[in-house]
Chain A
Amino acid sequence: MQDYKFDEYPDKFPVAMAYVPWQHFNGIYDDLEKAFYAGTIFPELNKPFTGRRCTS
């Protein structure tokens, strides 16, 4: 599936609908064990949580 910049093609991406960008195959992690512990074989889907509670 081709992917476009959403605002450049309003007829392909009309308002009042949700659009998630299409993932393209760019290879997978070489180290599959590292991928296993990260929870995905795709580097672009690896989004770790680093939040820490802070109170002012």
Chain B
Amino acid sequence: MNHEQQMLKDIGIVGFTVVELALYLDTHPHDRSAMEYFNHYNRIKTQMEKEFSRTHFPLTLSMVECGKDWSWGEAPLPWEGVCD
């Protein structure tokens, strides 16, 4: 697994954790422990996405910074998969 694939996998894991905590907090909106976990992992996810977008390709529109080309269009299509 190359560096890009590894980073994408880590973002997937942290992103999933954030979504799981968000659904839990939707029905437990006063749970302080869950909120602390959410804040912690959400911060990590944002940081990782920024770093990934800088070194590989932007994962969201808000991470796009046009340099030479329209980088949003350069990202691989998510459904192609990787065969290694």
Contacts and interface: CB of A to CB of B under 8 A. Distances in A.
Contact of A36 (B16, B24, B31, B37): B16
Interface residues of B, number: 13
B20 A40 contact: yes
B37 A33 contact: no
Contact of B21 (A33, A36, A41): A41
Contact of B14 (A25, A32, A42): A32
Prevailing SS type, chain B contact patch: helix
Prevailing SS type, chain A contact patch: loop
27 contacts: A23-B24, A23-B28, A25-B24, A25-B28, A25-B33, A25-B34, A28-B17, A28-B20, A28-B37, A32-B13, A32-B14, A32-B17, A33-B13, A35-B13, A35-B16, A35-B17, A35-B20, A36-B12, A36-B13, A36-B16, A40-B20, A41-B16, A41-B17, A41-B20, A41-B21, A42-B20, A42-B24
